[in-house]
């Protein structure tokens, strides 16, 4: 992994630092250049034709875009290294967030268990468990089956199973 001092020694970084220093020393310089450019385009449009001014503006825009693309080509390694560094930071942050979420979920589960134990002390509520498991099945059956004889047979089987379960739990 490269150190900050190693990156500062790269010639392109030195050039960028010089440009940045000059821009911070003269913050209005880009605005002055832009104002002079707008004035020059307006004068060209006034003394010549607007078509000539549009051509000059198109040439300036093309030159700026080509300089921007050339800068991207020259600073490709630096940009790529920065993007890789940002990707590594993002992956590390994602891993840390996952770990924190796991710990948070575990803590919430422990709090939930403690709250359940304080609000509802642990009892042997087999019948409640049986009925809570059977209610969705019974509702499904009632909605589907309208025949009372089949409903009675099903109820008889459920009652027998419940009695057997209750007897086996009490022994």
What tokens were used for 88?
Answer: 């590594």
In the three-class reduction of DSSP (H, G, I as helix; E, B as strand; rest coil), residue 32 is classed as helix
Report if residue 120 sits inside a domain. Answer: no
Q: Is residue 158's pLDDT more than 90?
A: no
Name the phi and psi angles at 58, rounded to 5.
-65, -40
Where among 51, 74, 97 does a domain terminate?
74
Report if residue 97 sits inside a domain. Answer: no
pLDDT confidence bin for 124, thresholds 50/70/90: low
pLDDT confidence bin for 1, thresholds 50/70/90: very low
Q: Is residue 94's pLDDT more than 60?
A: yes
Q: Is residue 100's pLDDT more than 90?
A: yes
Where among 34, 57, 74 does a domain terminate?
74
Range of the domain at 17: 4-74
Q: Which of 35-44, 53-62, 160-169 has the lowest mean pLDDT?
A: 160-169
pLDDT confidence bin for 145, thresholds 50/70/90: low
How far CA 17 is from CA of 13, 14, 65, 147, in Å, comes to 6, 5, 22, 86
Q: Is residue 142's pLDDT more than 70?
A: no
Report if residue 108 sits inside a domain. Answer: no
Report if residue 68 sits inside a domain. Answer: yes
Report if residue 113 sits inside a domain. Answer: no
Report if residue 117 sits inside a domain. Answer: no
Report if residue 114 sits inside a domain. Answer: no
Report if residue 81 sits inside a domain. Answer: no
Q: Does 8 share its domain with 68?
A: yes
pLDDT score at 127: 67
Q: Which of 8-12, 17-21, 76-80, 103-107 has the lowest mean pLDDT?
A: 8-12
Please state the pTM of the whole predicted model.
0.39
Q: How far apart, in whole angstroms, are the C-alpha atoms of residue 65 and residue 15?
A: 20
Q: List, as one string, the DSSP characters of 70-138.
A: HHHHHTHHHHHHHHHHHHHHHHHHHHHHHHHHHHHHHHHHHHHHHHHHHHS-----HHHHHHHHHHHHH
Domain count within the chain: 2
Q: Is residue 51's pLDDT more than 70?
A: yes
Average pLDDT over residues 87-114: 91
Average pLDDT over residues 30-43: 85
pLDDT confidence bin for 7, thresholds 50/70/90: low
Average pLDDT of every residue of the chain: 80
């Amino acid at each position: 992994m490269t150190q900050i001092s190693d990156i500062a020694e790269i010639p392109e970084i030195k050039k960028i630092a010089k440009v940045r220093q000059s821009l911070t020393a003269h913050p209005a310089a880009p605005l002055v250049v832009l104002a002079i450019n707008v004035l020059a385009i307006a004068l060209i449009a006034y003394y010549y034709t607007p078509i000539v001014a549009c051509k000059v503006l198109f040439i300036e825009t093309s030159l700026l875009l080509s300089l921007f693309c050339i800068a991207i080509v020259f600073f490709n390694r630096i940009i790529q290294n920065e993007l890789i560094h940002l990707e590594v930071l993002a992956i590390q942050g994602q891993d840390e967030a996952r770990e924190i979420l796991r710990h948070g979920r575990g803590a919430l589960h422990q709090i939930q268990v403690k709250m359940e134990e304080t609000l509802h002390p642990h009892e042997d509520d087999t019948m409640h468990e049986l009925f809570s498991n059977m209610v969705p099945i019974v509702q499904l059956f009632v909605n589907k089956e309208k025949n009372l004889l089949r409903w009675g047979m099903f109820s008889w089987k459920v009652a027998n199973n419940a009695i057997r379960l209750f007897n086996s739990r009490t022994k």
